[in-house]
Structure 1
């Protein structure tokens, strides 16, 4: 009796205490932490607070306030310059001012319009652009429209170029510990405002961080509520159809549920919350938990059908599956643990919690499942005739593979090479808005604003004049103006650029007879200082200029409102900006704010994918070496292990799917499942070879004991994960698409290319 058989007998002997009660008790203890569950959407969760990215992010908020906004858009097919619509804008604007967490509200009605007094040409008036609406004539409205659609400070920011759409921008207060619920409360308050003031025939949209937060949390909830039950139903149906045994359904699902409870309790106990990534952990637990339990259950039921009794079948199954199950669990463990190299905090968290789940799933599969089979002793009819037919089918398939091994190898390599070419077109994009399909409300609203008014994505450029009051220097402001022009001309995504220089130019024009040729930066520092002082003194309370420059007049904030762009495009804009200031000015600029965080996520995601995959493959290689102690087995398994990953990445390039945060963890699970299948096949093949079987017979033996289980787990996972293709949350739908293709390819390579390679190599030795 070997050690594995001895272990199996001990599991049966101590089935109640060691195999069932202790694991369940441990899981229950961890599960008590589930009440600590929560959702986090704050951007600060993505990087360590001491990282350069987050230090810049914090510096920006502390200096200029939050760049978080909620924006309400109104649109009329003819013009928004109608009294009822303008009253509507004014009412919503004033109501938002009174809303909790709002620091400032800007709209076309309260825009601080600077102009020369009609009574005194030497007097400059700064006032609300639209007031006393009832007194405005049709001519007045037309004049207001012409001014608004031509004024650089309002066009494509507060109003569309055609005057048919307007936007109310509410800036959120800087609050260090703002919560997701705060954003949702603000979003709901904005929706309520619209409902209370809605005008028939006017189209309304809400965009901004609160709208995104609400959409994100609803996406998690709706996808979980809709797809998780579908996922379990799909697994139940497939297990029932394949095995036609109630315990084949109940036991694997029990392992999955217990593992999910453990991971949930473990992660929430550590203080982790649900976010874009960690909300996906149940999906991965299903993939991990199903695999080992199916292999163990399949061998057990196969032996029962051959005529062995319950205990003999349990012992045989553990003997054949313990080593491959242990290896696959270790490879999955190190695969997910490799995500710990990432600087993206939620990726680290996800790697840790799912890695722990791989170990728990293994323990439950090896202890709990056999113990339950021992206790239940399910009745399985002896079906030697059916088993014989299965043997014959596998024998025929083995003969086909051995006979055509060279052709199979060449065909597989051609397909892999074609897919590999697609790698040149793979792109990484971590933009959070692109996680939503274009059919969702949040994307419809965002696309509407971008098409009709201006960009919804802000890019914050902080320009350093090097010393206090340096902003007031003419050469500094002229450099800013030169940069604005070249930046907007260089990038088509830029819809509007806002800075204090627009105010200075406007005042210079007004102070010089309102002549257009004076709409420029003056050559006098004293004049610039005077203009800024006059403007700030003219503003009503709450409409100051400290959000455009710091209190010491050293740093100037330039905000570029852009259309949705890929992270690659954003990085080009950042690099171009930094290069421009280095090459064209003695002053310097840094990129800060929220979009800088998302752009750095692309860099870190790229690094994570490269490092984690390489690290996972390194550990897998070492585990393979210690397990098989053979260069031959390491080399022969290389293609089936790596090719599914390359095929998946290549296909994303071929069909234009951007790789996002979800992809980083998809590729880890692809490696894990591909290796699972390879290990189960090779371990049984090696065992047969060690007993003196020929290569052909060893392949047949491996296919008999692991082939069906590989097919079953793949069919279940591909079908179940394919359900997520129906999701309108692209991080889920992309995950479902790529993982389904990759897992299917892994099955084909392990059951076709791997045995063909073993056969061909034995012939040329």
Structure 2
């Protein structure tokens, strides 16, 4: 009954398509136009990837910090050698550049040499006053500027690490963006259209090298690089896959047909992004290219089947009808398993991956419908393929490859299993060598100028990734108690002793600066006041905060005086190193700040990303297990054989283990980009397994349930399609190695390697397992009647379509 329904369904599809082909093409055109109208809603993400769910405790802590102190990643920093900038002409040009930048509405403030303020005591008002460090009337005097440079480097310890590196003489200026535009398009417009032109103008005028960094700057240029690569990947994948397609089929018209299908698929992929109102992220940016890579194998599979049918009987209408009735369900199932492989990302409880999984799985199924509609219609307009177009079915290299595969399965079972066992052992050992990396900078393009600047700031100022420590004293005005300040100072000393972290800044630095000012600027008194001094120094600080329009305390203490922050920067480190740093800090915090009196939180984007990577790893392992379970359930449903679950999964899990082991041996860490490899590769590789088993079952029926004969006839029938599609996928994903992003390179290379392993295991290990597990059942039926016939063996004589 199910078989009859299956045949009649695909006969109905074939009849409807070919008799209404003009209307079908019109509907496709109209839908494509509609999807094109959705492009206007496409936006690029303005925030970093948040890998933790909103209700995660670390995310809650970070959100609480933002409520108290606002966005911490709003700083853009410039650095230059002091010997270059403290020259009258260069100094003037620098000040002009900073003044022009400060005028922009996106800028909250600027801290540069011209804006450096010295803290001066006013005894009559019992307050501290900020006075300019540089006298603008003397900036043309080289000797004066040289003396001020000396004073800055030797008499202003408050600005050390903040504005200069005393050892190297590198000085820097800081731009503070308005916090409400940091995660909005205005940030991008400011950086690209206002900041960078101002920098280039200064460079051209003074021939001075400037290093620029800071999270708003890094994020903007990184996003620009991602956008520029979307077109590169689409073009490269179209070129590579079309060349391979033409090499296989030697038909320009058929190649154009395949390109037409995938190009419409690419247009739809952008349309779905707009329709769902999803932003383009580092993951969704890959979707259009994935559609090309996955779409071409669909075209190969259907074209190959059509050529096989027309060679067999020379009737175009019958060939098209048989393509749909014989492989329609198989094509649907293989696309479904691929879509399921991506859809499992939805269960990760991570917005970034959920959106990637949703939009990719929808596009894969839409591409299936597109391929199934356009390819038969295309061939219905074309004459029968010529003999030269069918030569690929018996091409020398393909015949020799098939002979080699059959030889391995027929005569070298022991070798096949020995190699498989060796790969399992080697893979397991390699897995234990794998490391986890969760740095925001890990996958950024290493060859760009802005990444070289990041390395410069890591060397000179120990990094640009913000790390924040928020201290809740659990009482109003508790921060300014001298006992609290001393605890904070001890914690800052611990931070300063950690090589991965920069010199911190907090209210403690301001209080020390105030004491120095109280003693007429003598740097020897840059220290916290003792119990005697606090009685007459703290009133000066309080009066200063009341009288100042720009309260210097507000960035480091909240309005109630209950919460304080300690800000530092971190260089790029591995997850293990970051965990050690956090443990050190946490141990010191526990000793200094009793939990009954204080609540201390370590947070910041860099730390959040590190923790998100570990969380993501756990979730993606769960999603991969879920994908394996779904695939196993699908295979059982299709073949009604528990044995087939084992036979199908082993050849697809072995390549994943081998790739994981390879990552451990060559030092590719587990990170968000490389974690995706396993789910993507599994979803694609299992397609070959289902095609093989589906054809194998058909061959069993055809060969009167003779297992050995069916195994090898299946290889002869399906080997070429499995080889072709695997090669296209392999070379298609290898295009991603052209990227400047380390994560994208790793994704492309590792998926390609895994698919190569998968092709060999599906062609060699899979039939070997089928033979080994069924030897005791020779000449017997080892699979029950399936729920659905994936491939149809018999033709319905009434189903041949009459074309109009």
SS of the residue corresponding to residue 433 of structure 1 reads coil
SS of the residue corresponding to residue 623 of structure 1 reads helix
Q: Distance in 2 between matches of 1:10 and 1:100?
A: 64
Contact residue 67 and residue 171 of structure 1 kept, 8 A: no
Structure 2 residue corresponding to 1:761, chosen from 760, 773, 777: 773
Contact residue 15 and residue 374 of structure 1 kept, 8 A: no
Give unmatched runs, 5+ long, in structure 1. Answer: none
SS of the residue corresponding to residue 460 of structure 1 reads strand
Give the drift of 1:188: 3.1
Contact residue 248 and residue 392 of structure 2 kept, 8 A: no
Structure 1 residue corresponding to 2:184, chosen from 179, 182, 185: 179
Counterpart for residue 674 of structure 2? 663
Alignment of 1:38-437 (within 5 A): 38-43=43-48, 52-76=57-81, 78=83, 80-114=85-119, 126-132=130-136, 133-134=138-139, 138=143, 141-142=146-147, 144-145=149-150, 147-148=152-153, 151-175=156-180, 178-198=183-203, 199-381=205-387, 393=400, 394-395=402-403, 397-437=405-445
Structure 2 residue corresponding to 1:707, chosen from 702, 711, 719: 719
2:578 paired with 1:566:
no
Q: Distance in 2 between matches of 1:64 and 1:382?
A: 72
Give the drift of 1:107: 2.6
Q: Distance in 1 between matches of 2:368 and 2:15?
A: 20
Contact residue 297 and residue 728 of structure 2 kept, 8 A: no
2:479 paired with 1:474:
no
Contact residue 305 and residue 382 of structure 1 kept, 8 A: no
User: How many residues were matched structurally?
Assistant: 761
Alignment of 1:322-721 (within 5 A): 322-381=328-387, 393=400, 394-395=402-403, 397-489=405-497, 491-511=498-518, 514=522, 516=524, 519-523=527-531, 526-527=535-536, 529-536=538-545, 541-542=549-550, 544-586=552-594, 587-691=598-702, 692=704, 694-721=706-733
CA displacement, residues 591-622 of structure 1 (integer Å, 9 cap, x when unaligned): 34433442342133213311211111111111
Contact residue 64 and residue 550 of structure 1 kept, 8 A: yes
Contact residue 191 and residue 220 of structure 2 kept, 8 A: no
Structure 2 residue corresponding to 1:750, chosen from 762, 767, 779: 762
Q: Distance in 2 between matches of 1:226 and 1:77?
A: 41
Closer, same or farther: CA 319–693 of 1 in aligned 2, 3 Å? farther
Give unmatched runs, 5+ long, in structure 2. Answer: 778-804
Q: Distance in 2 between matches of 1:238 and 1:163?
A: 55
Contact residue 398 and residue 696 of structure 1 kept, 8 A: no
Give the drift of 1:137: 5.9
Closer, same or farther: CA 95–60 of 1 in aligned 2, 3 Å? farther
Give the drift of 1:187: 4.2
SS of the residue corresponding to residue 435 of structure 1 reads coil
Give the drift of 1:278: 0.9
Q: Distance in 2 between matches of 1:149 and 1:753?
A: 72
Q: Distance in 1 between matches of 2:608 and 2:581?
A: 14
Judge which range, 49-58 or 456-465, deviates more.
49-58
Give the drift of 1:13: 1.9
SS of the residue corresponding to residue 162 of structure 1 reads coil
Judge which range, 462-471 or 722-731, deviates more.
722-731
Closer, same or farther: CA 27–187 of 1 in aligned 2, 3 Å? closer
Give the drift of 1:510: 4.6
SS of the residue corresponding to residue 34 of structure 1 reads helix
Give the drift of 1:458: 1.1
Counterpart for residue 793 of structure 2? none
Closer, same or farther: CA 700–694 of 1 in aligned 2, 3 Å? same
TM-score, normalization by structure 1? 0.91
